Amino acid sequence: MTAHAETVVADTALADALRRRACAIPDAWIVEVCAACTSTNSVLLDRTGRDTRVLFALEQTAGRGRRGRAWTARPGDSLTFSLRHTFALRADALSGLSLAVGAALADALCARGVTDIALKWPNDLMRADRKLGGVLIELSSPPAGDTTAVIGIGLNLAPPPAGDYAHAPAALFPDAPGREVWLDVGAALADALARMLPQFAAHGFAPFAERWNHYNLHAGRAVTVSGDGTQLSGQCLGADHDGALRLDCDGRVERVLAGDVSLRAAP
């Protein structure tokens, strides 16, 4: 832990209950739940060591989203957690990780009977065309060519007050669900990541590409990808074996790499 690392107050009863339900989580993983923290990603980025850790927060006061956005979470309305894992891989081998996470989460929600789930490249979790959740992955590279990834997940369980997030969000439930539902959904998503990680470490994104493309919100549609001052328009062909987005631009196939890119339906 760094000198100024945030101290979080652990709710061990909730963590034990979560672990009992999340059967796929290996015994060696450390599972923690705290009532509140600034950002589960920030807390885990400050931790040291090679242990794989999962940290859930019931409330997040300074949560961070992609592209510098805020991601707040109020108790009961949100499922907010991060997973810290060290891969024996260089950072460039993790380019498709966020898409693999998205595909695993989508499968887990569908398996629980959630309808209308889709993925928007690179990793927005969508429901009925509106944003249901997001993934923020932050990397650090300890010595020896390894890469530590902090994989942050935010999922709307119930709608937040209007204007709380830049996009009109979707939610799993019309009202804040109770503790049991929070535990059920949390365990299902943590289990999905626990099953996905070893496969990703061994084979990268390729085994998940078919599942990701199954959920692709923009499959076959005319889209514009914009980022870093550039724009590319074409027909969305889906995610490639490494997570790059393939576009048919007037018969020429272009690949857009993961990064600071947004995808919009073409006018």
Q: Which is nearer to ligand BTN, 63 or 204 (CB)?
A: 63
**Interaction with ligand BTN in 71-90: which residues (CB under 6 A)?**
71, 80, 82
Helix (H) or strand (E) holding 24: none
The answer to whether the Cα torsion of 25, 148, 241, 226 is positive or negative is: positive
Helix (H) or strand (E) holding 166: none
Question: Least CB distance from residue 32 to ligand BTN, whole Å?
Answer: 13
Q: Which of 40, 72, 98, 213 binds ligand BTN (CB under 6 A)?
A: 40
Question: Least CB distance from residue 6 to ligand BTN, whole Å?
Answer: 12
123 three-state secondary structure: coil
**Interaction with ligand BTN in 153-212: which residues (CB under 6 A)?**
153-154
Total number of residues binding ligand BTN (CB under 6 A)? Answer: 18
Q: Does 132 bind ligand BTN (CB under 6 A)?
A: no
Question: Least CB distance from residue 44 to ligand BTN, whole Å?
Answer: 9
How far is Cα 209 from Cα 8, in angstroms, rounded to an integer? 37
Q: Which of 48, 52, 65, 57 lies closest to 15 in space, CA to CA?
A: 57
Q: Does 243 bind ligand BTN (CB under 6 A)?
A: no
Six token digits for residue 168 = 């009109």
The answer to whether the Cα torsion of 175, 155, 171, 111 is positive or negative is: negative
Per CB under 6 A, the segment of 33-41, 104-112, 139-147, 222-230 that binds ligand BTN is 33-41
Q: Which is nearer to ligand BTN, 97 or 237 (CB)?
A: 97
In the bound complex, which residue of the shown chain has the CB atom lying closest to ligand BTN?
Answer: 134
Q: Does 41 bind ligand BTN (CB under 6 A)?
A: yes
Helix (H) or strand (E) holding 84: strand 78-87
Question: Least CB distance from residue 216 to ligand BTN, whole Å?
Answer: 17
**Interaction with ligand BTN in 221-240: which residues (CB under 6 A)?**
none
Six token digits for residue 40 = 């589960």
How far is Cα 267 from Cα 265, in angstroms, rounded to an integer? 6
Q: Is 217 left (phi over 0), alpha (psi -120 to 50) or beta?
A: alpha
DSSP summary character for residue 244: P
Q: Which of 65, 75, 76, 207 binds ligand BTN (CB under 6 A)?
A: 65
Q: Which is nearer to ligand BTN, 80 or 148 (CB)?
A: 80
Question: Least CB distance from residue 36 to ligand BTN, whole Å?
Answer: 13
Question: Least CB distance from residue 135 to ligand BTN, whole Å?
Answer: 6
Tokens 């890119």 belong to 261
Six token digits for residue 208 = 């998940």
Tokens 């400050």 belong to 46
Residues within the interface to ligand BTN (CB under 6 A): 39-41, 63-66, 69, 71, 80, 82, 124, 134-136, 152-154
